[in-house]
Chains A and B, each alone.
Chain A
C-alpha cells in the first residue's frame, strides 16, 4: 500500500522536480554569490521551505537587523497559505502523525498537486499526500544545496544572475494577472508600492505599502465584491 502510493505520487511531482532543481539551484548559487556557505541555502530551504520568501530572506540577512519587519513581511508574503489550509481542512482530517508534516510542507506546488490530484483507489491518501510533500521538499532542498556547493565551482561571470528572482516574481505576477477576472488588487499593489517607494525610499517602503494595500482593499471591498459577483 505504501509502495503503491509512492508509485502514484512520484509521476505527479516530475514537473516540480525540474522546476525546483532549477530554481533551487539558482537560489543556492545566488546565496553563494552573496557570500554565504552552502549550509545557509540548505538549512533555509529545509526550515522555511517557501521559495519566494527564501530569496527575500537573503536580502534581509544583508540588511540591518529588523526582526519585526521580517516577521510581518513573512506573514504578508505567505498569507496565501492561510487559504490553502482552509481548502485542505477536510482532506487532512484523520491523517494522524502525517498531518503535522503535510501542513508544514504545504508550499504552493505541493498544495496544487495534492488538492487537484486524482488519487487511485488502491492507494492510501495519507501516504500519497506525504510522498508528494516529501519529494517536493527533497527536490527543493537538494537543488538549493547543490547550487550552494556548485556556486564555488562556477567560473563564468555571474553578474546579473540575481535577476532570476525579479524574473520569477514578474512571471508569478503575470500568471496571477492572466488568471484574475479584474485587476483591482494588482493595481492596489502597484500604486501603493510605487507611491510608498517614492515617499519612504528603498529601505523603508514595505510596511507602509502593506498598510496601504490593506486599507485600499478594505475601503473598496463593496465595489470589488460587486464586480466579483458580476463576472
Chain B
C-alpha cells in the first residue's frame, strides 16, 4: 500500500489525467484554422514513439541487478520468450500472457 497522503495521491492522479488530456485536446485547441502543422512538430510526433517505448522497457527493468542473485536471468528469459513468440505469432495478447506466465514460473519455482 502507498504511504502517500490522500491529497498527494489525488494530485498525482490528476497530473496523469492532465498530462493525458493536454495531449489529446491540444491539437484541437491550437489548429482551429487551416494552418499547416509546423514541420518540426510533425517530425517529433513521428520520431518520439520509438524512443519512448524503448525508454519504457528500460524503465520497467530499472531495478534489475545483474551483479547479484538472480542476475537478471528471469527477466532475460521471459523477455526472450515474449520477443520470440511475438516474432513468430505476432499476437499481442498471446506474447504478453506467455511472457508473464514464464516469468511467474521462473521467480516462483526456479529462482527462489
Contacts and interface: CB of A to CB of B under 8 A. Distances in A.
Interface residues of B, number: 68
A174 B91 CA distance: 12
Interface of A: 18-19, 22-23, 26, 34-36, 43-44, 47-50, 52-54, 56-57, 60-62, 65, 67, 70-86, 89, 92, 99, 103-104, 106, 157-161, 163-177, 180, 183-190, 192-194, 197, 202, 205-206, 209-210, 213-214, 216-217, 221, 224-225, 228
Contacts of B104: 157-161, 163
A194 B58 contact: yes
A162 to B, nearest CB: 9
A160 B78 CA distance: 11
Interface string B49-68: 11111111111111100000
A189 B53 contact: yes
Interface of B: 1-2, 4, 8-9, 11-13, 15-28, 31, 37, 40-63, 74-75, 78-79, 82-83, 86-87, 92-93, 95-97, 99-100, 103-104, 106-108
Contacts of A202: 62-63
B108 A50 contact: no
A190 to B, nearest CB: 4
A94 B15 CA distance: 30
B57 A170 contact: yes
A79 B93 contact: no
Contact of A74 (B8, B15, B42, B86): B15
